A and B are shown apart, each in its own frame.
Chain A
Amino acid sequence: MAVLEELKEALMAGNANKVRELTQKALDEGIAPTTIINEGLIAAMNIIGVKFKNNEVYVPEVLVAARAMHAGMDVVKPLLAGDALEDKGTLVIGTVKGDLHDIGKNLVIMMMEGAGFKVVDLGIDVPVEKFIQAVEEHKPQLVGISALLTSTMMQMKKTVEGLAAYRDKIKIMVGGAPVTQKFADEIGADGYAPDAASAVDLARQLLAS
């Protein structure tokens, strides 16, 4: 399946057009859509994630890689039967009430989608009730809570507390510039990730445990 290797290379180089072509070529060669996604598109994004964590690639390179991944997904997704793709899990994510920052959260969303997770983005300034509502509605395995201000970290604590009734069904991940592992432990979150690529590792760990 040399075409998948080529596909991965093109994706990591951020070449959306080539990824689109090679995804089509892989389909023409009879490779199953799920194989193309898991062993081509997602596998390549995983490599990008590791490189990002090691400071070998930078934010804009991750963005173009993600764009290329979506170009490939657009080709292959319509061919999937509803349940053919292995369900990696659902993440509901948002920035807490009082906090309007979204850049870090959006990077996490991109990496999580890149890793094959379904992501429900609640946006910024999200009150506790909206997190609860989304958990009821989307039945996620994971909830991601972001805060960029030292003054909104306490809102993060309230959000974790507000989700107390669902803790047997969800794992809560927290992150954002002022957040630390220590703070995450203090407020009773299930995990903390210092950056977007680590968030994917954390999500996998939490789901495996």
Chain B
Amino acid sequence: MLVVGELINSSRKAVAQAIAGRNKEYIQELARKQVEAGAHIIDVNCGTSIGEEDKVMTWLVTSVQEVVDVPLCIDSPSAEALAAGLAVHKGQAMINSITAEKERWQEVLPLVQKYKAKVIALCMDDGGMPESVEDRLRVAGKLVPGLLEAGIPEDDIYLDPLIKPLGVNSRYGVEALEAVAALKEKYPKVHTICGLSNVSFGLPERRLLNRAFMVMCLTRGMDAFILDPLDTLLIGLLKAATALAGQDEYCLEYIAAARAGKIKA
């Protein structure tokens, strides 16, 4: 189970402030805490630094890698910012994200190849957001073969089914879950990943929905999540569900996390 820590994102006010003031200590502390809590990869996003995103991304990547040993997930809708972050990244980075939109595909694919990065492949194309399981399978049918043809190993591909808010349509939860299962069945060696917070937009007590959704995704075969690793209940459920799904031999990870006090009932 792969955990990508989502907290270094400039859409969060405190992070935007830290970035604006180049508060390196704050960013480094946030990275350290997420790794301690169990994140395997740290996402870095500075989308709100308009006009200087490349520069800020470079600063973020170097600052974070000064204090943690894990790879980073370079997260930006701008290909220039992705390139800037990848250029200074040490180790195998993850790119968030490529899509089947023509322009995006052409901009991002060379970066995936050049840096031999892991890549999140979002199930959308120029036709817009996917509206069904079939839409997602159709777009994944362009993404996966395209990436493989470009020489990207299956193990480096993370399909994101694109999660839409349950509050807008009460079928969006189950639709996403069915998509996970269908993608997993069609591409068993490719990973599936998603962010958890989209699903709860517009609803109260969002963390409850995020946590439940994580467990449900996991049972349908999802094996990577972009999440808040400092949500201890979420991490506890993740460890428990991983063990229950038969993916934690002798429950050793679960036991170790409990013994270390990292998870609690």
Contacts and interface: CB of A to CB of B under 8 A. Distances in A.
10 contacts: A58-B204, A60-B167, A60-B202, A100-B126, A100-B128, A149-B77, A150-B48, A150-B53, A177-B11, A178-B48
Interface string B36-67: 00000000000110100100000000000000
A24 interface: no
Contacts of A59: 165, 167-168, 201-203
Contacts, number: 55
B78 interface: yes
A178 B11 contact: yes
Interface string A149-175: 111110000000000000000000000
A170 to B, nearest CB: 25
Contacts of A100: 101, 124, 126, 128-129
B165 A103 contact: yes
A98 B167 CA distance: 25
B78 A150 contact: yes
Interface residues of B, number: 23
Given A58-B204, A178-B11, A151 B164 contact: no
A103 B198 CA distance: 11
B51 to A, nearest CB: 9
A160 to B, nearest CB: 15
Nearest to B101: A100
Contacts of A151: 47, 76-78
A106 B201 CA distance: 14
A6 interface: no
Interface of A: 55, 58-60, 63, 98, 100-103, 106-107, 124-125, 149-153, 177-178, 183
A125 B78 contact: no
A92 B85 CA distance: 39
Interface string B113-138: 00000000000101011000000000
Contacts of B164: 103
- Interface secondary structure of B, over-half rule: loop
A102 B126 CA distance: 14
A107 B201 CA distance: 12
A100 B129 CA distance: 7
B128 A125 contact: yes
Interface in B165-208: 165, 167-168, 170, 201-204
Contacts of A150: 47-48, 50, 53, 76-78
Contacts of B78: 150-151
Contacts of A178: 11, 47-48
A153 B48 CA distance: 10
Interface in B186-236: 201-204
Q: Which of B48, B77, B101: most chain A CB closer than 10 A?
A: B77
B121 to A, nearest CB: 16
A58 B202 contact: yes
Contacts of B11: 177-178
A103 B201 CA distance: 11
A31 B88 CA distance: 71
A152 B77 contact: yes
B52 to A, nearest CB: 12
A101 B129 contact: yes
Contacts of B167: 58-60
Contacts of B170: 60
Contacts of B101: 100
Which of B165, B167, B170, B204: most chain A Cβ within 10 A? B167
Nearest to A98: B103
A59 B206 CA distance: 13
Interface in B137-184: 164-165, 167-168, 170
Given A63-B168, A100-B129, A102-B129, A153 B50 contact: yes
A200 B76 CA distance: 31
B165 A183 contact: no
Interface in B82-114: 101, 103
A103 B168 contact: yes
Contacts of B124: 100
Nearest to B128: A100
Contacts of A107: 168
A107 to B, nearest CB: 8
A58 B201 CA distance: 9
Contacts of B103: 98
B128 A124 contact: yes
